[in-house]
Structure 1
Amino acid sequence: MENRQTLDKTATVMMVVVCAIWGLQQVAIKVAAEDVSPMLQIALRSGVAAVMVGLLLTLRRYREKCHWQTWRGGVVVGVLFAVEYIAVSVGLSYTSAAHMVIFLYTAPLFAAIGLHLRFASERLSRLQWLGILIAFIGIAIAFYTPGKPGDGWVTPQRMGDALGVVGAIAWGATTLSIRCSRLTDAPAPLTLFYQLAGACIILGLVALVTGQTRFHLSGIAFASLAFQTVVFSFLSLLVWFWLLSRYLGSRLGVLSFLTPLFGVAFGVWLLSEPLESTFVLGSLLVLVGIVVVSGHDVLHGDKAVARLST
């Protein structure tokens, strides 16, 4: 833990690729939404990825470190992960992938506030509080994207954006829950397994109860599900945990905020989503605020906290 390296060229390239994969996730869900409902997509990808991670955990080096006492924390993070992606899947029906990725990736702000309230060692500095203020001003500006004439203040897009913020709060709460439970010392793949299993079970049930079981396995749907399951839910997250085990977490954390930029770029490129001036300005303020909050650790020593775990 104490001998982690600063970023070299290999780690930087790998992290940029991982961020691109994460940024493409929301777009992949949106692209296949006409053939497979978003709720069912996430349930399916989570279930298959959970099996893959479960097989990984049977390896001796992980099996010896997995303890049944982690189940309580596992249930909590599984539920929170499911809540996050229920918000995402429903929200994508109302807003664009570009909007969703920006609002969802405000999660580190909520995590930082929760950690500040819970742990003395995680107290925020004045500069970090300023970063949080800048980011929340950015959220308000991005949220104000004008609707159609006569829509009123509560537009479908704003409903979707609000659900993105709900997802971010659930993600931030997941980070806090991991730190407050036995999962903080458990192997990272075990935490990932709890999250994936929880999402599969809960989102699968919600999809059944609400009738969101639309499934037409077209070429686009197959490619999207394969990408989400193998590339995103399994490979990219394992690479992320591998990088965290070898390199300084704060440096990786700052690079991870390339993800929203990739998400917006892919949304515009692949889905022809429009970019409103208020959304662009608000997004830039959000990203500046997040970098100020999370980049603080780069200047004041690495805390090696894994802000991202989905």
Structure 2
Amino acid sequence: MAGDAAGAVGAHDHLDRSAVLLVVLLCATWGFYQVSVKVAVEGISPVLQAGLRSAGSCALLMLWARARRIPLFDRDGSLWWGLGAGLLFALEFMLIYWGLSYTYASRSVLFVYMAPFVVALGAHWLIPGERMNVAKAAGLAAAFCGIALAFADGLRLAEGEEWIGDLMCLGGAIAWGATTVLIKGSPLVRARAEKILFYQLAVSALALPPLSLAMGEPGIVAATPLVLGALAFQIVVVAFASYLAWFWLMRSYPAAHLSAFTFLTPVFAVLAGILLLGEPLTPAVVAALALVALGIWLVNRPRLYS
């Protein structure tokens, strides 16, 4: 997931039209991400799929860094912290991909996007100057109510296993939030965004395929054009191009103004699941989506308006 890099002071003090269009496009891309995982899981086991995604994106990132002469292997005191971030990243995507084999894409995003609230709580206790304020507390309360509503709705679904996937995706959100707190509170905060992403992709690419084998996953069972296309979308568009675009935005524009738009991601994800996968839309999911989106906006809104 994007947003793990610390935002530098941007070259612009506000978002222009191009930046707004790009950040909305990125949110739409991340919203369609869960759908691509659901499509690919029909032919590639979930944990192996997460590992293949990381391996492919890591290879592209290394080529990009080589072309741009960005050092990825210099000694800067971040190695052990980077390995820790990579292990949390691997845990995050193992849980999310595995969870999506049980629950709907349109539901999973509600749980995955509890990550900003994990960050807000962790930063309050562990990072100086990142104290909880009234707006963040209100956002946390709104999101918690939304998640409780979505989880209760999952328990009533006929299939009976959605709650398992919901809990896994919530675990992935906790791992994502912990990764961000680790980065913000360690020497990684001074590292280049590309190097932080490299740590995460490289460690998960090495860890997840053997884990998939140990779990007894069947692996690649149907390498259809649709399945391979969905995996390619994850590798090229999501974990490589969209993350680099987000990091560029974070370096060029105010991070708080950009982060306020991330409430759009769960909206796009729910719409994508309904329109592309024919997933059910219940009143409880609509209410939960509204509460979670409101919570994300309150937690990330620019301080100018606090």
Under a length normalisation based on structure 2, what TM-score does the superposition of the two structures give?
0.91
C-alpha separation in 2, matches of 1:259 and 1:188: 21
Give the letter for the 1:199 counterpart: S
Q: Residue 87 of structure 2 is aligned with which of 61, 79, 94?
A: 79
- 1:103 alignment counterpart: 111
Which runs of structure 2 are paired with 1:1-310 in the superposition (5 Å)? Answer: 1-5=8-12, 6-59=14-67, 61-63=69-71, 66-145=74-153, 147=155, 155-215=160-220, 216-300=222-306
Conserved? CA contact 2:90–2:204, under 8 Å: yes
Conserved? CA contact 1:66–1:187, under 8 Å: no
How many residues align? The count is 297
Conserved? CA contact 1:66–1:190, under 8 Å: no
Conserved? CA contact 1:143–1:279, under 8 Å: no
Which segment drifts farther, 105-114 or 204-213? 204-213
Per-residue displacement from partner, 1:13-60 (whole Å, max 9, x unpaired)? 111111111111110010121111122211111101111212333356
C-alpha separation in 2, matches of 1:64 and 1:72: 14
Deviation, 1:273, is: 0.3
C-alpha separation in 1, matches of 2:55 and 2:92: 16
Deviation, 1:206, is: 1.3
Give the letter for the 1:168 counterpart: A
C-alpha separation in 2, matches of 1:57 and 1:66: 13
Which segment drifts farther, 91-100 or 48-57? 48-57
Per-residue displacement from partner, 1:133-164 (whole Å, max 9, x unpaired)? 1211111111100545898xxx4111111111
C-alpha separation in 2, matches of 1:59 and 1:297: 37
Do the aligned partners of residues 34 and 179 (structure 1) sit closer, same or farther apart at CA in structure 2, a change above 3 Å counting? same
Conserved? CA contact 1:98–1:268, under 8 Å: yes
C-alpha separation in 2, matches of 1:194 and 1:77: 7
Deviation, 1:188, is: 0.1
Conserved? CA contact 1:128–1:296, under 8 Å: no
Which segment drifts farther, 262-271 or 210-219? 210-219
Deviation, 1:127, is: 2.7
Conserved? CA contact 1:65–1:187, under 8 Å: no
Per-residue displacement from partner, 1:227-269 (whole Å, max 9, x unpaired)? 1111111101000001111011111101122111111111001
Do the aligned partners of residues 68 and 226 (structure 1) sit closer, same or farther apart at CA in structure 2, a change above 3 Å counting? same
Do the aligned partners of residues 230 and 28 (structure 1) sit closer, same or farther apart at CA in structure 2, a change above 3 Å counting? same
C-alpha separation in 1, matches of 2:47 and 2:296: 28
C-alpha separation in 1, matches of 2:187 and 2:152: 41
Per-residue displacement from partner, 1:73-117 (whole Å, max 9, x unpaired)? 111110100111111111111110011112101100000100000
Conserved? CA contact 2:127–2:185, under 8 Å: no
C-alpha separation in 1, matches of 2:24 and 2:134: 30
C-alpha separation in 2, matches of 1:28 and 1:75: 27
Partner SS state of residue 18, structure 2: helix
Give the letter for the 2:148 counterpart: A
Do the aligned partners of residues 2 and 32 (structure 1) sit closer, same or farther apart at CA in structure 2, a change above 3 Å counting? closer
Give the letter for the 2:152 counterpart: Y
Conserved? CA contact 1:47–1:197, under 8 Å: yes
Deviation, 1:212, is: 1.7
Give the letter for the 2:135 counterpart: L
Percent identity among equivalent residues? 38
- The Cα RMSD (Å) is 1.9
Which segment drifts farther, 233-242 or 119-128? 119-128
